[in-house]
Amino acid sequence: MNVKDFNYELPEELIAQDPLEDRSASRLLMLDRKTGEIRHRVFREIAGEFRQGDCLVINNTKVIPARLFGVKEGAGAVIEVLLLKRREKDIWETLVKPGKKAKPGAVLSFGEGLLKGRVEDVVEEGNRLIRFSYEGIFEEILDQLGQMPLPPYITHPLQDKTRYQTVYAKHDGSAAAPTAGLHFTKELLEELQEKGVEIVNVTLHVGLGTFRPVKEAVVENHHMHSEFYCIEEEAAEAINRAKKEGRRVICVGTTSCRTLESAADDKGLVKATSGWTEIFIYPGYQFKCMDGLITNFHLPQSTLLMLVSAFAGREHVLAAYEEAVREQYRFFSFGDAMLVV
């Protein structure tokens, strides 16, 4: 399968640069994955598409302000560090720019020395292991010095940090937001619950590997970066009850999907577990647990577009994307949404 099979034309002006004032005012493209039929709604109307007893799975990860700007001690060179994953208490795997200024032994200073980092090693794809030193609580210092790690296609500054968090974000650890969840308000979640929709929390800490371009020409040769996930006992029981009773399990975002599919058996039942997943879902994959998907519009030739294509069929998905372009939908992280069932 060729990566170019997942390409489409997107005018640059359709890339959303800012979140809407009202989260739920985004547009919603409805895609029937069996027929390819397309309908158009507003996200706040999504409750009308749910049935009583549906199980809605959300990813309660919380984005950390993972982008740090500092200087290299002794040289004064400006350094940008992006925290990717915590390896040990004070050792993080990071992406450093410019990498040539961050050789092992280099000491980096942030916030005039409030936080310091020593480059310990160079690992896979040139990432750096950095050991941080500080006085106080790391998370509080990071909140003070760090910036939200917005994707490179967003060039506008983010005025409100909370707009790159879901309203149900709970567990720190993501380097990027699970953006399908950004459309939900607390009022909309309450409306769904009142309708009899069961809302279940899982956790997957989103790494940048999810968004990195596929460099291999052949899809099957691409390797996903590992991401940490957790399904608690209560969540597993709720999802399994829904599957056994024939109720739909609808995932909010590709991250919730990948969490369930990583933990599901051949009958679609999941186990309470935590660990690292490298699951790569592309056309030909047989879904075990997920029955519906709420998702944003993804980059051309991305693993996220491949996942949606695996669920709804490449032709249906690309036709829906062409329709979204014609209808001037907003794309990517702060853009509009799809419901695929």
Q: Are 81 and 131 in contact (CB under 8 A)?
A: no
pLDDT at 75: 84
Q: What is the pLDDT of residues 39-90, one digit of tens each?
A: 999 999 999 999 999 999 999 999 999 999 999 998 888 999 999 989 998 9
Torsion of CA 41, 42, 43, 49, to 10 degrees: -30
d(CA 145, CA 89): 19
First to last CA, the chain: 25
- Which of 2-6, 152-156, 229-233, 234-238 shows the lowest mean pLDDT across its residues? 152-156
Question: What pLDDT is stored for residue 170 in this prediction?
Answer: 98
Cβ neighbours of 213 (radius 10 Å): 12
Q: In the prediction, which pLDDT does 338 show?
A: 98
Average pLDDT, the chain: 96
pTM, two decimal places: 0.94
For the segment 289-317, the average pLDDT, to the nearest whole number, is 97
Residues 86-138 have pLDDT tens digits of 999 899 999 999 999 899 999 999 999 999 999 999 998 899 999 999 999 99
Which pLDDT value is given to residue 266?
95
The residue-averaged pLDDT of 277-289 equals: 97
Q: What is the pLDDT of residue 211?
A: 63
> Stretch 293-314: mean pLDDT, rounded?
97
179: buried, middle or exposed (CB in 10 Å: 19+, 13-18, 0-12)? Answer: buried
pLDDT category of residue 210 using cuts at 50, 70 and 90: low
Q: Quick one: pLDDT at residue 124?
A: 83
Cβ atoms of 260 and 290 closer than 8 Å:
yes
Please give the residue that has the higher pLDDT: either 208 or 232: 232
